[in-house]
Amino acid sequence: MIAGKLEVALLNFKLALEGILQNKLRSFLTALGIIFGVAAVIAMLGIGTGAKQSILEQLSLIGANSIVVKAKLHDQNNNQGGSNGSGGSSSGGPEELKGYTPGLSLDDMEVLKRLMPTTDRISPEIVQDLMIIRDKTLQRARCVGITNDFFEINNLEVAEGKKFQDLQFERGSNVCIVGSAIATKLFKGENPIGKEIKCGQVWFKVVGILKARRIQKTKVEELSIRDYNDDVFIPITSFMLRISDRKRIDAADVIKGRGDDRNDRLEN
């Protein structure tokens, strides 16, 4: 029984081989079509995998389920829109008065926590450009007042040293965590941990270094995000006490619970 099946298979193989040899051009074109078809499928799978990887990298940069709440301040020029060139008011009716918006505060952040019980983490954010000095090296950088939740929200890891301690927030201690690029520019191969840098007019002790995050300049512009490698991070209480004597914050970064996968930008 088995021998008979083998004979039939050999006979079919011989017939197929004879057909290929008798129609060489047709066989060549058929094989060429199969090769091109398989290559096209492989190429499409490769393109799809690359696009998927690119999207996942972008989501890891901006956060798949994060929300940024910013204060929307009215432009003073808009309030003068009802005036004509001679200084008088237009004939379109009384000038519309807009309400005053003081911005966001730490109290607003606490309100967000109560209004959104599914929130995993929330962090205030104050950003100010300052001159950073270390020995004879001068570098302009962004100083950012935050809490430790900021690192988790933006997928940032501390490669060396440690995050801020609760006592440092309570006391408003002069400590900071620097981005990898700032550490390289200011310390040039030295270990920054335990050393001091001057941010504006205030000295801060470096307690941590962020893990370098590779990001293309085009991605920074396309996604409207910052390159955190060039930032200096300071406890929010220290920032308000020693750099910017104010109660207002620039933004509140919120990361929602896992059940809500969305990335929105809200304005108040």
- Look at residue 225 and give its three-state secondary structure: coil
Do residues 121 and 209 make contact, with C-beta atoms less than 8 angstroms apart? Answer: no
- Helix, strand, coil share of the chain (percent; to 5): 40, 25, 30
pLDDT at site 114: 85
pLDDT at site 224: 59
Do residues 192 and 206 make contact, with C-beta atoms less than 8 angstroms apart? Answer: yes
Q: How far is CA 44 from the centre of its chain?
A: 29
Task: Report DSSP letters for 31-95, one per residue.
Answer: HHHHHHHHHHHHHHHHHHHHHHHHHHHHHHHH-TTEEEEE--PPPGGGGGTTB-TTSPBPTTSSP
Write phi, then psi, for 154 (nearest 5 degrees): -100, 15
pLDDT at site 261: 41
pLDDT at site 268: 37
Do residues 252 and 104 make contact, with C-beta atoms less than 8 angstroms apart? Answer: yes
d(CA 27, CA 19): 9
Domain ranges across the chain: 2-60, 67-73+96-267
Question: What is the mean pLDDT, run by run of 10 residues, along the chain of 268 residues?
Answer: 75 80 83 91 89 69 69 57 45 55 76 82 87 89 91 87 93 93 89 92 93 70 71 92 70 49 38
pLDDT at site 242: 85
Write phi, then psi, for 153 (nearest 5 degrees): -65, -40
